[in-house]
Amino acid sequence: MNTQTKPKILVARAIFPEALAKLEESFVVRSNQTDQVFTPEELQKELASVVGALVAGSERIDASALANAKNLKVVANISVGYNNFDVPAMTAAGVMATNTPDVLTDTTADFGFALLMATARRITESEHWVRNGHWDKWSIVNNPLGMDLHHSTIGIIGMGRIGHGIAKRALGFDMNVIYHNRSRLSESDEKACGAKYVSKEELLKTADHVVLVLPYTAENHHTIGAKEIALMKPTATLINIARGGIVDDAALAQALKENKIFAAGLDVFEGEPSVHSELLQLSNVVLAPHIASATEKTRRAMVDLAIDNLRTALAGKKPPSLINTELFKA
Ligand code: 8YV
């Protein structure tokens, strides 16, 4: 295609070079392979000259970002969560919003389980113990002693695709699975995933391990704060693979400091990439840099699906994972 007739798109974060090269065959691409996150002002300017954009959770797409984006038709998120999108503002501006569901479900559920195991069995703390030369202090009673997963109760808050993936894995560990969700699953679905519906309060009181997998919305802000942590068992663990802001990180740091719960495993943080300074000082918390979907295969699949969404939208067809479906005119 002649450069003059190629539509211009923005790729706001670094992507795999082969995927970028393929895009360049059909589009004039403004790429950002240095991966320096755009400021809101820069993003607004970049969006003004393109018909489509690939973004990640780091790009907030709202009325202000769209203010000068007169030709923009689609913004494809390389992410299943889309709390970085102001969907009503995108719909009002006639911009299709898409995300990347399904392709990351198992990878993210695997990681949720890995983080749970690392937290309950104090794996990172144990690694430091070895690295710091404490092996001479090994004893029956003086190792980092953890909490069992097998035959314990896991409480899943948010029973979507990834929640189901966590439940499936938990059954393999002979765990008792309870869940809380905005809406209760059908009887057959509950049976299939072996999970019992309980109130949030009952879940917090009875679970040995609480795993958060719910989407971030204004109503879900601080789903877990001081009050909720106070309901948990002192032996319980809390795992957040959902979104920063679902947990009140300051309240959690305080509770961990006072050993109100056993430990926490966090892949997401309020205001990330910064991390609450007190969390960084504590040994009873396992910290990860938002990597639940981070395997090469899955990140490639996410990029490919985002590109498919973008291409399909720009071809005037309905993208496979369109969020604001009301926008699509067949
Ligand atoms: C992304 C995620 O890596 O898909 C999601 O919702 O949280 C992660 O898989 C992250 O959002 C970057 O876009």
**Hey, which of 15, 77, 104 would you mutate to test ligand 1's pocket, going by the most ligand atoms within 8 Å of its Cβ?**
104
Instruction: Return the pLDDT at 186.
Output: 97
Q: List % helix, strand, coil for the chain (3-state, nearest 5).
A: 35, 15, 45
How many C-beta neighbours within 10 Å does residue 279 have? 18
How many C-beta neighbours within 10 Å does residue 223 have? 21
CA 38 – ligand 1 centroid, Å: 17
Question: What does the alpha-carbon distance between residue 128 and residue 126 come to, in Å, rounded to a whole number?
Answer: 5
pLDDT in tens, 201-237: 999 999 999 999 999 999 999 999 999 999 999 999 9
Task: Residue 306: name the closest of 291, 320, 323, 292 by CA.
Answer: 320
How far, CA to CA in Å, does 170 sit from each of 156, 166, 215? Answer: 10, 6, 21
Percentage of residues of the chain with pLDDT beyond 70: 98
**pLDDT greater than 70 at residue 78:** yes
Give the contacts of 157 (CB within 8 A, at least 6 positions apart): 179, 180, 181, 200, 203, 210, 211, 212, 213, 214, 223
**pLDDT greater than 90 at residue 4:** no
pLDDT in tens, 269-298: 999 999 999 999 999 999 999 999 999 999
Question: What does the alpha-carbon distance between residue 26 and residue 9 come to, in Å, rounded to a whole number?
Answer: 10
CA 227 – ligand 1 centroid, Å: 28
User: What mean pLDDT, rounded, does the chain reach?
Assistant: 97
Residue 291 Cα: closest atom of ligand 1 = 3
CA 170 – ligand 1 centroid, Å: 23
Query: Mean of the pLDDT values across residues 136-160?
Result: 95
Instruction: Return the pLDDT at 2.
Output: 56
Instruction: Return the pLDDT at 328.
Output: 84
Q: Residue type at 156?
A: I
pLDDT in tens, 116-131: 999 999 999 999 999 9
Instruction: Please state whether beta strands 28-30 and 52-55 pair in parallel, antiparallel, or not at all (unpaired).
Output: unpaired
Instruction: Return the pLDDT at 142.
Output: 81
For ligand 1, is residue 79 a contact (CB within 6 Å)? Answer: yes
Q: Cβ(52)–Cβ(73) under 8 Å?
A: yes
Give the contacts of 50 (CB within 8 A, at least 6 positions apart): 7, 8, 9, 10, 30, 69, 71, 72
Question: What does the alpha-carbon distance between residue 273 and residue 298 come to, in Å, rounded to a whole number?
Answer: 22
**Hey, which of 79, 241, 321, 323 would you mutate to test ligand 1's pocket, going by the most ligand atoms within 8 Å of its Cβ?**
79
Indicate the pLDDT class of residue 1, thresholds 50, 70 and 90.
low
Question: What does the alpha-carbon distance between residue 309 and residue 246 come to, in Å, rounded to a whole number?
Answer: 28
Question: What does the alpha-carbon distance between residue 232 and residue 135 come to, in Å, rounded to a whole number?
Answer: 33
For ligand 1, is residue 78 a contact (CB within 6 Å)? Answer: yes
Same fold, 3-101+296-327 and 105-287: yes
For ligand 1, is residue 223 a contact (CB within 6 Å)? Answer: no
For ligand 1, is residue 160 a contact (CB within 6 Å)? Answer: no
Percentage of residues of the chain with pLDDT beyond 90: 96
Q: Cβ(7)–Cβ(52) under 8 Å?
A: yes
CA 75 – ligand 1 centroid, Å: 15
Q: Whose CA is nearest to atom 1 of ligand 1?
A: 79
Domain map (residue ranges) of the chain = 3-101+296-327, 105-287
Residues involved in catalysis: 243, 272, 290
Task: Residue 286: name the closest of 76, 157, 115 by CA.
Answer: 115
Is the CATH number 3.90.580.10 carried by domain 3-101+296-327? no
Query: Mean of the pLDDT values across residues 145-158?
Result: 98
Q: CATH number of the domain at 105-287, please? A: 3.40.50.720
